[in-house]
Every structure is written in C-alpha cells, then in structure tokens.
Structure 1
C-alpha cells in the first residue's frame, strides 16, 4: 500500500478501535477525523483496505476492525516511537534506581511496566552466559573448604563451596585470587573456562590443584545456571480493558504464559540490537495460544548488545505507540542501572 490517504484511514481505524473496542464505520471516521475527503471516498478507501486484508467486517452491518496485517502496517509505518513525558521518565528512573540488588531491579521493572502499559509485563533475567565477570572472590571457610563467589557485570552473584584435596593455604588463596582477577575481569563467562585453564600452566606447582578445583566449580556453576528465567506481572490486566471477546478467550493465553519455554523461545526469536523495539502480532508469535495477542519487546544490556529482553504482552487491540514507548524506556533504564 502506497496511497498515503488510505494509510491515514487505516491509522484512524486502528486508533479508534483501540480506544473504543467497537468496529469503526465510515461515519465515525468523518466525525472524528479531519481526513479532508468525502464520506464516499472514505468508504471506497475502506473497501480497498478490506480487499487488501488490512481490515475486516466482524459481522453484517458492522463497521470494520483491523486485521493482523493491518496492525502490522500500522506499527511498521509509525514514524517514531513517541517519547514519554519528563515526569514519567523521572518516575521510572527513581523507582528503578532505588532497587537494592538485581532481583529487586527485575521485580520493580516488571511491576512498573505492567502499570505503565496495562498489559502483561515480562522481564528476562540477564543471561549468565552473556554476562561478563566483574570479580571472583575466594574465601577460606575452615581448614579445607573454599567459598567461590562469582560477581558479574549485571549484578548477579553466584556462590559455591568446594572441599579442597588438601588443607587450604591462605597465601595460595591470595595468589590465586589476585591472578584470577587480573586475567578474567571483564571477560564474558562463556570464555572464562578456557582463560582460567590456560593459567594453570603459568602458576606454581602447589597452586595448580586448587586452581583446577576452582575452574571445575565455575564450569559447574555455568552449566547449572544456563537455563534462562523470566518474571511476569500484570496477568490480571488481560481481563480488563473493555474487550469482552478477548477476556472470554484468555485461557489459552494464560496457559502459554505459564510455559516459560514458550516465552523464552519468543524472546530468543526477537533478540536483536539492544536499542530495537520489536513487535510480534498475532500469528507472528507462532504459538496457537497467543494468536489473539501482540508481544512488544526491547533488549537491555550494555554497549556490546542485549543480554536479555523486557516486554509487554496484550491483546491485538493495544495502544502500540504507548506500549512501545514504555517498553523502550524501561529497557533503557535497566541498561543504565546495570552499566552503573
């Protein structure tokens, strides 16, 4: 579709339907929008849009509603994602920056996004595999036990205790701690094992056995923590918003949301540049339970790219510009907080 006027008609239909939840007729378009053409021309444009599959008539004598294809055209033709107001930005920043740790950041972000969008909010935990190591701490605990603490650049802290083959020498522990942090700080965890194993050949003979135990527990930690996690908030929003047809059919949506593997697959499919807002509409989600929904996400992380994603899921009849703006804003603040 290249006709700008018909795009204006489609935009008006989407906006009115989102606002009223009622099928939109030509008379309403004439009364509510200054399209600069006659009612007959608008009816012709609507007929062309319907023939192209962008709008549909839900039943005889009704107005028109957008189809998945119409919503996709509307989203793709948004010139820009409208910015949030200064007060909204300040409120987001203050709410998230008061968090005390990563778990608190994620919990606050998902609640906040559900409130901003009136949709189901989804926040994916930063991937341990894509994180970088900020520090390794080795703490002797008793004669033969050593606490290994991994601290990532995203604020994740993983702790494991190992039992040494021999009594732990604090001087050896100090040398290992210093050497490890000199070589691994800033490294992605995916490459950590290789880096640390290469150090074994450069250390004193007495340091090697303990180093290999540390390497083994780091590898075990990475394997155990490789499964991704997502947090949800706002599922009650699915039954609100005045869309009774959607409210009566939310069972399959709730079932899909309960399966984290479904959400993780969707998030993985939508993983693009950290600053990109991505929208999947209806059947684009490729899940039968979500065909009546749209999923808006954005990556957050660091300058090296997204390490996780944040998003909102709601009915096809959603405020796309507002939802996209809120998702983008929360993602940017998460990036800022984690980078700090």
Structure 2
C-alpha cells in the first residue's frame, strides 16, 4: 500500500499533466496548490516536484520556470488513469446518429474517422476490414449497357467493392441473370482466398454461350479480391497537426507508418496508448497514438482505428472517444 506522501506525489504528477495538457505552459507549484486544492504548502509541492524530476517524470525547461511532463510522466499518468471521461448523452446520440447514416461499411468507416478527427482535434486513421476473415455474401451483376456490366461484391461484414466490366460483345438480359447465378453459386459463403480459387475454376464449367462473359467477370473479380488488401486506410484531420507536429503529416502519408500504428491492436473493447519513444519508428517519436479494434458480433476484430497527436493530448477524453466510436461501429456492423 502506498504512503500518503507517495499518493500526494501521484496527485501532483496528475495535476501537472492535466494543467500542461490544458495550457502547454510550464506548471508552477503555487498554481498547483491554488487550482487543485492540495492541502499542503507550495514549498512541499516544490519538494514533491524535485522528487518527480529526479524520477524522470517531469522536467524543468528553464531554471526559473515551472515543470512539464516527460514521456515517462505521460506513461505513468496513462497507466494510473482510472477515471476516463464519460461521453455525455448528447455526444453519444450524435455519434450514433451520424454513423447510422452510412450507406455501407466503408461509408460508416469514413464517417467514423472524420468524426474522431473532429471529436479529438487530432489526426484519425482507420483500416478497412481485413478481407482474409471475410466471406462473400453476394455478388450482384447489373447491366449498365449491352456491353458494360457493374459487379458489386458484398461481404458478410458489410464491405462493398464495385467494378465495371467492359465486354467486347453484347450480352443478352437473360444471360445477365445466368451470369449472376453462376457467380453466386461459386462465391457465396467463400472466404476471399476460396473465392479466388473458385473463380479461377469457373471457365472449366461455364456454359459455352456465356463462357466469355463469365471469364471476363471472374478475371475482374479476382483482381478486386487481390487488390482489396487489409492495408487500405482512411485518414482524416491531418491538418489538425500542422502547428504541433508538422512532420507527422508527411509520415502518415507512408503506408508502412500507418501499418505500424494499427499493428498489435488490443482486443475488442480495449484501448492501446503508445507514447513518444515507445513507437518503433523514429518519425512518430514526438507523437502519441490511441488505437483500438472494431468488429461485429462474432467477437473477431475486423480492423483497427485510432488517433495520432502530440504527447500532450487529452488522454482521458481521447481514450473515451476512440472507444465509443469503435463500439458504435461494431454495433452497426453487427446490426444491433
């Protein structure tokens, strides 16, 4: 059990972090006593600050200034963060209403990343679902003209991919129906890997009069399945970092950076916080990232989402907002 002195020093560190997040100005002992109602003298607080500085949790930028948190101080703050700011009822209703207006999963995710950027005033990123864990629900075939088809591939997690197919010969309306039936017979319920294999074998069993059209469609769908990898990302709010972290904007344009951000995701409902030097990549050393998984009713994550910002971000509020948006996306995916 910690002593009253240790408990007070934790409160002093928490107060320094909170005040610095709010102002980005060094925090002095007298202002801490006044703002946080600490029942000790400024001299006692200065002594606590000296101990915290010796432990590497805060630092003094200038000899006559107050203290600012170090990356280790932020980590200590996050690890002992028991009270995450709850979202208000109006905030929760606004989030759900905005996300429910999405026309498909990709639209919902685009809305979610824009929403996170607005709610946190940071850069937000989301990865589209990993198709390796998806199954084909349906393949729709629509004749846009006698020589052009629209293929719409729908997966069980609500992801929709559309591709146009240009034909060299005219296709009859009844053949469009036969094409749709043949494709769905081969694809329905298949994983993406299995779907590719089934499509590759379609030419061998296709009726001669629609074989050409079927092969053309199968080739296009295979390209779609191969191209639609799990490393497709949507980023919003990068302009929010222009003042504090201009270098991060360039970093987020590199796919490997985003992959690293959304790797090693926590279980559904949990949130991961990575601060400063804890990042594997040098380009993220001055930033903090709060990430989580989203998914449907199966309990398996479909992808990840999160925000990137300065190390002095509002951790409590950011954690609550990332967690809430991910949960609502999961509810929509699950149809709840």
- Provide the TM-score with structure 1 as the length reference: 0.81
Structure 2 partner of 1:298 = 292
User: Match of 1:126, SS?
Assistant: coil
Say yes or no: does 1:315 pair with 2:310: yes
Say yes or no: does 1:9 pair with 2:3: no
Structure 1 partner of 2:162 = 158
Q: 1:174 to 1:151 in 2, by over 3 A?
A: closer
Residue 71 of structure 1, CA deviation: 0.5
User: Match of 2:74, SS?
Assistant: helix
Structure 2 partner of 1:273 = 267
Query: Which blocks of at least 5 consecutive residues in structure 1 are unaligned?
Result: 240-246
Structure 2 partner of 1:252 = 247
* RMSD of aligned residue pairs (Cα, Å): 3.4
Residue 32 of structure 1, CA deviation: 1.4
Equivalent-residue separation in structure 2 for 1:22 and 1:129 (angstroms): 47
| Residue in structure 1 matching 2:99, options 72, 96, 99 | 96
Structure 1 partner of 2:82 = 79
Equivalent-residue separation in structure 1 for 2:238 and 2:178 (angstroms): 52
Deviation digits for residues 171-227 of structure 1 (CA, Å, limit 9, x no counterpart) = 86465345335xx33x54244445x37997xx97859x7888766554332212226
Say yes or no: does 1:20 pair with 2:14: no
Deviation digits for residues 81-111 of structure 1 (CA, Å, limit 9, x no counterpart) = 3320100000111111122334432332222
Say yes or no: does 1:220 pair with 2:228: no
Equivalent-residue separation in structure 1 for 2:160 and 2:206 (angstroms): 32
Q: 1:174 to 1:327 in 2, by over 3 A?
A: closer
Deviation digits for residues 284-333 of structure 1 (CA, Å, limit 9, x no counterpart) = 22232322211111211223322222211111111111111111111112
User: Match of 2:131, SS?
Assistant: coil
User: Match of 1:83, SS?
Assistant: coil
Say yes or no: does 1:263 pair with 2:266: no
Structure 1 partner of 2:125 = 122
Query: Which blocks of at least 5 consecutive residues in structure 2 are unaligned?
Result: none
Equivalent-residue separation in structure 2 for 1:172 and 1:106 (angstroms): 34
| Structure 2 counterparts to residues 177-216 of structure 1, below 5 A | 177=183, 179-180=185-186, 184-185=188-189, 187-193=190-196, 196=198
User: Match of 2:308, SS?
Assistant: strand
Is the Cα contact below 8 Å between 1:147 and 1:162 reproduced in 2?
no
Is the Cα contact below 8 Å between 2:152 and 2:160 reproduced in 1?
no
- Provide the TM-score with structure 2 as the length reference: 0.82
Is the Cα contact below 8 Å between 1:136 and 1:180 reproduced in 2?
no
Is the Cα contact below 8 Å between 2:186 and 2:199 reproduced in 1?
no
Equivalent-residue separation in structure 1 for 2:313 and 2:143 (angstroms): 55
Structure 1, 111-120 or 38-47: larger mean CA deviation: 38-47
**Count, aligned residues:** 326
Structure 2 partner of 1:42 = 45
